[in-house]
Amino acid sequence: MQTPQLIQLEEILAARRDTRHFTDEVVPDEVLERALRAGHMAPSVGLTDATRYYVVKSKEVKQEIKKLFQKYNRKAADQIEDEAQKTAYAVLKLEAIVDAPLGLVVCYDRSVLNSFTIGTVASNDTIRFSAVCAVQNIWLSLTEQGYSMGWVSILDYYEFKNLLGLPEDIEPLSYFCVGKPATDYDKQPMLQQQGWKQKSAAPSVMEVEKVHLPVTPAFEPPHLHAPQNELLAERLQYIIDHKTKPTGALGVLEDLALQIGKVFNTTAPEVKHPHLVVFAADHGIAQHGVSAYPQEVTSQMVKNFIEGGAAINAFCQQHHITLSIVDAGVNYDFPPNLPILHHKMGRGTHSFLHGPAMTRNQVHTCLQKGSEVTTSIYQTGCNTIGFGEMGIGNTSTAAVLMSLLCHIPIEQCIGKGTGVVKEKLEKKQQLLKQAIENYQGEQDSFAILAHFGGFEILQMAGAMLQAKRKDMLLLIDGFISSVAFLCAYKIEPKVKENAVFCHQSDEAGHRLLLQTLGVNPLLQLGMRLGEGTGCAVAFPLLKSATAFLNEMASFERAGVSNKA
């Protein structure tokens, strides 16, 4: 038999609504204070008390927030292909930013992660989840008092944060409209009441009856073919030297032609079905403010790649290069039907400031998954593959890996990344130096990769090793991709034979890394975008190298006198 208290609680739960229609009645201070106290009572991982609240009463601020909503609402509407559904979406009232008497911004303070926090070792998202628990308590308290909230999630959170002038370490969870509800929506969820979708009658519950132990094969370094044919190399060099030009007159193009011929094992090499792969993932170290952009930008840029709006899309289209995107570990759940390769290792790595970013098993799995990406591309007839990346915080990961794998002081490896300068750059340097000082693990490569690695970096490394196994030409982009190559090189040095370093980026440390590897980049354009853009921009040079090798006449064929 249910007690009166239990009945009352269930009535409050049933009455809780995502409210979109409000009266203009002012929310009394005591009502808000009681609700926020309820929020403060919510579970907080490690007792961090990381949840923060901001109240909005200004009409001017509300109007600007509404503009942000409208911009993203139009973007959402444009993604609906079904015209009937698009019409139905247009009539839904999805926000009440201006109508509601009060706005509430619920945030979490990620600076708590700068010191060890109980409950965050497995996932940094637990501080965000604590804020969600607080939201539910606030919602129920307001409902019990006769008030309600409406959740506005259709926002660009980076612009939203800047608009509100929130401190660097404070991340908004969402914006909530607060006030007295003007309707009970016929005691239904608003979307159901308006015919958008029916809420399921009962929760989905399944019992787990047995243990499922995943079988992860250990990554095996490539079993390479016999050494490159020295007779072929001599024949290629002879052909290059006897074209109608002074010896060495085409400079780097001659070296490139020789390399391509050796990789493809022919005196008449042809670049076939060129492909570029962008590996994307998030990094736990980003929670400490090492980037000029929030972590959400990783998933937003992946969407931009899919929609064709990024620089790499333009360059790949220009040069007829097939582009693929890999979700190696983005802190976002992409729909399964999106045209991306789903190789997610997790929702980003852990922060390596106080502990390992991943496990050794994950290192092997990343290498294996990257290998699988290359294999599928190779099967399309591709013999030339470029590598790009996207991941907020990955210059920090790359800088530490470079420092430890090359035994170079971290200060010489750290750069601006996405554009951090002055105090923020100093903070980045201090954090990464502290992370290295905190490391007490082994010094072998795999131990370092596990403690400081990134999911996209190691999947790239695995893809590069497989490309070497398949006698493919590897196009290496900027700093991050070069560090991924460094990881592959530490496993199998012969991968260097197939690698073309497309450009020297403007990221501090890249020039030093290229020198350490003993390689020369094709271009130096002051770029530091990533995405594989350097590969695409340098691609015409490959075509020029094969063109002169295959089509340019020799002195003998052209009847031109060679030097005496």
Annotated catalytic sites, by residue? 531
User: Which residues neighbour 382 within 8 Å (Cβ) at sequence distance 6 or greater?
Assistant: 272, 273, 274, 275, 322, 472
Q: Looking up tokens 């020789």, which residue turns up?
A: 258
User: Which residues neighbour 396 within 8 Å (Cβ) at sequence distance 6 or greater?
Assistant: 283, 285, 286, 290, 291, 414, 417, 428, 431, 432
How many CB atoms are located within 10 Å of the residue 105 CB? 21
Residues in the chain: 564
**How far apart (Å, rounded) are the C-alpha atoms in residues 278 and 55?**
40
DSSP symbol at 288: G
**How far apart (Å, rounded) are the C-alpha atoms in residues 37 and 134?**
9
DSSP symbol at 472: P
Rounded to 10°, the helix 445-452/394-406 angle is 160
- Radius of gyration of the chain from Cα atoms? 28
Strand order in the sheet with 499-501: 341-342, 322-329, 275-281, 384-390, 473-476, 499-501
Burial of residue 10 (number of CB atoms within 10 Å: 0-12, 13-18, 19+): exposed
Burial of residue 493 (number of CB atoms within 10 Å: 0-12, 13-18, 19+): exposed
Measuring CA to CA, which residue among 102, 130, 160, 149 is closest to residue 44? 130
- How distant, in Å, are the alpha carbons of 138, 166, 189, 345 from that of 161? 22, 6, 29, 29
Residue 523's φ and ψ, nearest 5 degrees, are -130, 160
As given in the structure block, the two tokens for residue 130 are 């604590």
**How far apart (Å, rounded) are the C-alpha atoms in residues 551 and 558?**
12
Residue 401 near residue 491, CB atoms below 8 Å: no
**How far apart (Å, rounded) are the C-alpha atoms in residues 242 and 240?**
6
* Residues linked to residue 276 through DSSP beta bridges, in sequence order: 323, 386
Residue 404 near residue 436, CB atoms below 8 Å: yes
Please state whether beta strands 170-179 and 102-109 pair in parallel, antiparallel, or not at all (unpaired).
Answer: antiparallel
